[in-house]
Structure formats: C-alpha cells, structure tokens
C-alpha cells in the first residue's frame, strides 16, 4: 500500500476501527497507524480528532468498559509521538465518560488520569495536569500498594510537572524526593538494568544538573551515563529513549566548558538527531530541543561559519515547536533567545533589529507561561538587558539596569543562591 493510500485509510477511520487496527496482535496495524497519522494534513487531523471525540462522547457504559484500556494506550502512543490534538481528542472525552460510568477509585480512572495529565504537561497546561496526576498517584497507591511499578510511574509524572514548574526550591526538593522514591521502587521491582530505571536516572539527573553545584553535576553525569548504558542494552542504539539519554548527557557536557566535553557533546547530539530521524521523530519536541542544543554548541565555537549553521538549526527548532506546541509555548522562548544571540553576533542593522524583537517576544512568552519567579524568566531578562546595554544609548542602559535587577531578584530564590 502506498503512503497516500495509507493516509486515506487512516483519515477515514472511526474510533472503533482505529482501536481495532491499533490493537492487532502482530503489531503491523499499530506500525501502519503510527507511521501514517503524522503524514495527515492539519485539516485532516482536525477532522479526525473531532470525529473521534464525538464518537467517544456517545459511548455507553459497556463500550467504555470494553475499549477504555486500549484507547488510553492509543492516546498515550499519540502523545509520545507529539500528535497532541488527536491524543487529547481521545483522552479528554474518554476521561469524562469513565468518570460517568466507573467508580472514581477504579484503576482505569488512574490510568487515563495519568496519561491525560502527562499530555497536559507536554502542552504546558500545567494547572490542568496537577489534579489529574495527583489523583492517579493516590488511586494507584490505594489500589495497587505503595511499591507497585505503576505507582513509580505516577511519582515520576508528578515530579516531571514539579520540575517543569520550578516554582521555587521547595518544588524542586519535592520533585527530587519523588524521583528518588520512583527509582527505588523500579530498581526493586523491575531490576537495576530495566528501561524504567534508566528513565528514573535520567529524570533525577535533570534535577541534579539544574542544581548546578559541582557535586550535583558530577552525580548527574554518572546517572546520565548509566541511563544511556542501560537503554543501549535494553532498547538498542536506535530507540527514541536512547536518543533522549544521548541528548541529556550532551546537555550536561556542554556546561562543563572544556574541549574534550564539548567534542563529546557534539558527537552525542548528532547521534541523538540521527536516531530520532530514523525513528520518524523529526517533528518531535525532543528533536527540536536537541537541534537547539547543537545550535548552541556551534554558536560557542565563535566563528561565522558555525554561527550560520547554528542559525539554521535554531530556525528548524522554532518551526517544529511552533507547529507541534504552538507559538506561545515556553520552549519557543528558549529558541528565540538562542536565535537572537546568533543574529546579534552576526551583526547588521536588520539582524540586530530582529534580535531585539526576539528577546522581547521570548520574555513575554515566559512571563505568560511560566510566571514571574521561574528561572527561565531570569535568563530572558538577563539576555535582553545585555543586549540593551550594548546598544549604549541612555534609554536602553536605563532599561537594562531595571531588567538586571529583576533577574537578580529571581536568581536570589534559585537553588544554590546565596
């Protein structure tokens, strides 16, 4: 069957047909489905999502019981592929119907709450995610016991949300404690070399890397390297989980500043991009983040040729994030700041004018999506202030001083601040 024929077949499916195709025992239907769905146009995806949403809303209790688990799995796979509108078109009405027909302590309520909450985190809908993830954890602890692997999954989901919010030292402390609980459960129940253990190690490494002190950074590197070794053995070198571990380790090595680490980081980033491309994840937010990381590495080489390549990578990252996450997602802000640095470095009236617009847009996005205490806001404030200071006119210098003061006030509440 040609690619266009697969697209046409998927675009016309009802939710029952999609579930049946996705659940085929030989796995070929799932593979066909997940490969063809991303190829649909935005209009086709929107029409499909609306049709499936309406069909799920009409489920009776028996149908909800019969298809709930497999539809939750389908929604989760679409979430993993960053096809968020279609995933939400399954998960949101399914959640509503399950709440209508199932006891609120039912395990399926917990599963759908966990997946929908994680999808909301991916879409930066943090306020909606929090009650769902806390409910999933509470149900699983009550029904399955506090040391069940599904409880570990919910602990990690909640910790991920707290890490993204970074509302202050207390939220990061809670996130670290949750990650450590999750890792202890997974190592005990599934083993030290299980992929879920690698995921816990990678998550905990993120917290330690953010702390930024030498001891925490050294511990993070050990965890990242162990996670990568596990995934390469458990999943293989060409799996998206392995690519994420490559990217995480590269992100840490960039911050070390020495030449050997920089060379390894670039190699790891390029390997990660190759894996994601092979797995057809080249329009995924993780892929965009890796492009951005590699762009930053090239920018730091401090020459025009590498800066030109970095500009291309930042623009690709922005295009992906804009398409998949939306123009006001927090990830966009980071890519705008990176691209603004490049344009400012390259010089020229037009580039410098564009850079200022990007710095200001990034600041506005972070203020809207992250709030006034988030560390990424301090980065945006500091970047714009440095730019304005270099302009040199009195008005710009005055504004720069005010921005620096705001950034310092935020940084004073960050982990490790004195």
Region 310-317 average pLDDT? 98
pLDDT in tens, 183-220: 999 999 999 999 999 999 999 999 999 888 999 999 99
pLDDT over threshold 90, residue 411: no
Q: Please, which residues have CB within 8 angstroms of residue 229's CB and are 6 or more apart in sequence? A: none
Question: For a pLDDT cut of 90, what percent of the chain falls above it?
Answer: 73
pLDDT over threshold 90, residue 221: yes
- pLDDT interval class at 271 (50, 70, 90): very high
pLDDT in tens, 9-33: 777 778 888 888 777 766 677 777 7
Give me the count of residues in the chain: 418
Residue 418 vs residue 78, higher pLDDT: 78
Q: What is the pTM of this model?
A: 0.91
Region 84-113 average pLDDT? 93
Secondary structure class of 247 (helix, strand, coil)? helix
Cα–Cα nearest to 114, from 148, 177, 157, 68: 157
pLDDT over threshold 90, residue 307: yes
pLDDT over threshold 50, residue 418: no
What residue spans of 325-412 are helical by DSSP H? 330-346, 349-369, 375-391, 394-411
Cα–Cα nearest to 343, from 363, 314, 378: 314
pLDDT over threshold 90, residue 386: yes
Residue 168 vs residue 60, higher pLDDT: 60
Cα–Cα nearest to 254, from 282, 224, 296, 289: 296
Q: Which domains does the chain have, with CATH numbers?
A: 1-144 (1.25.40), 153-275 (1.25.40.10), 305-418 (1.25.40.10)
Backbone angles phi, psi at 142, to 5 degrees: -75, -40
Region 325-329 average pLDDT? 92
Please compute, for residue 103, the number of CA atoms within 13 A of its CA located in the half-sphere on the CB side. Answer: 5
Full DSSP string of 306-330:
HHHHHHHHHHHHHHHHHHHT-TT-H
pLDDT, mean over the chain: 91
Out of 85-99, 154-168, 255-269, 337-351, least confident range: 154-168
Question: At CA 169, angle to CA 140 and CA 404, rounded to 5?
Answer: 140
Q: Residue 172 class from Cβ within 10 Å (0-12 exposed, 13-18 middle, 19+ buried)?
A: buried
Q: Which residues of 9-40 are buried (b: 16+ CB within 10 A; e: fewer)?
A: ebbebebbebbebbbeeeeeebebbbebbbeb
Rounded CA gap, 322 and 328, in Å?
A: 8
Helix axes 285-299, 259-278, angle to 10 degrees: 150
Residue 272 vs residue 4, higher pLDDT: 272
pLDDT over threshold 90, residue 119: yes
Rounded CA gap, 46 and 41, in Å?
A: 9
Rounded CA gap, 238 and 159, in Å?
A: 27
- pLDDT value of position 14: 82
Backbone angles phi, psi at 110, to 5 degrees: -65, -45
Out of 62-76, 118-132, 333-347, least confident range: 62-76
């Amino acid at each position: 069957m040609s690619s266009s024929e697969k697209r046409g077949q998927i675009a016309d499916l009802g939710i029952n047909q999609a579930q049946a195709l996705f659940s085929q025992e030989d796995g070929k239907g799932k593979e066909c489905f997940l490969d063809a769905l991303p190829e649909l146009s935005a209009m086709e995806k929107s029409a499909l999502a609306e049709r499936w949403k309406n069909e799920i809303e009409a489920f009776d209790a028996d149908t909800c019981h019969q298809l709930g688990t497999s539809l939750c799995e389908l929604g989760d796979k679409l979430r993993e592929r960053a096809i968020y509108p279609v995933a939400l078109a399954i998960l949101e009405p399914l959640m509503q119907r399950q709440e209508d027909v199932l006891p609120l302590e039912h395990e399926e309520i917990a599963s759908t709450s966990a997946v929908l909450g994680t999808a909301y985190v991916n879409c930066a809908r943090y306020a909606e995610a929090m009650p769902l993830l806390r409910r999933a954890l509470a149900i699983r602890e009550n029904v399955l016991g506090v040391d069940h692997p599904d409880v570990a999954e919910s602990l990690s989901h909640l910790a991920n949300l707290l890490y993204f919010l970074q509302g202050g030292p207390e939220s990061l402390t809670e996130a670290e404690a949750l990650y450590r609980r999750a890792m202890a459960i997974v190592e005990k129940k599934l083993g030290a070399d299980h992929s879920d253990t690698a995921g816990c190690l990678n998550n905990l490494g993120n917290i330690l890397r953010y702390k930024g002190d030498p001891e925490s950074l050294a511990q993070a590197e050990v965890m990242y390297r162990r996670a990568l070794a596990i995934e390469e053995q458990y999943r293989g070198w060409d799996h998206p989980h392995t690519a994420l571990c490559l990217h995480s380790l590269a992100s840490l090595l960039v911050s070390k500043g020495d030449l050997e680490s920089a060379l390894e980081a670039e190699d790891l980033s390029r390997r990660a991009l190759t894996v994601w491309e092979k797995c057809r994840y080249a329009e995924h937010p993780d892929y965009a983040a890796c492009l951005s990381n590699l762009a930053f590495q090239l920018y730091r080489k401090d020459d025009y040729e590498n800066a030109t390549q970095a500009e291309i990578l930042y623009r690709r990252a922005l295009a992906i994030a804009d398409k998949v996450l939306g123009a006001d997602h927090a990830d966009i802000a980071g890519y705008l700041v990176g691209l603004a640095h490049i344009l400012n470095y390259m010089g020229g009236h037009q580039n410098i004018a564009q850079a200022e617009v990007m710095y200001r847009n990034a600041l506005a996005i972070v203020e809207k999506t992250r709030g006034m205490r988030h560390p990424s806001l301090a980065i945006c404030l500091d970047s714009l202030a440095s730019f304005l200071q270099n302009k040199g006119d009195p008005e710009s210098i005055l504004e720069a001083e005010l921005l620096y003061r705001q950034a310092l006030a935020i940084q004073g509440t960050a982990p490790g601040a004195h």
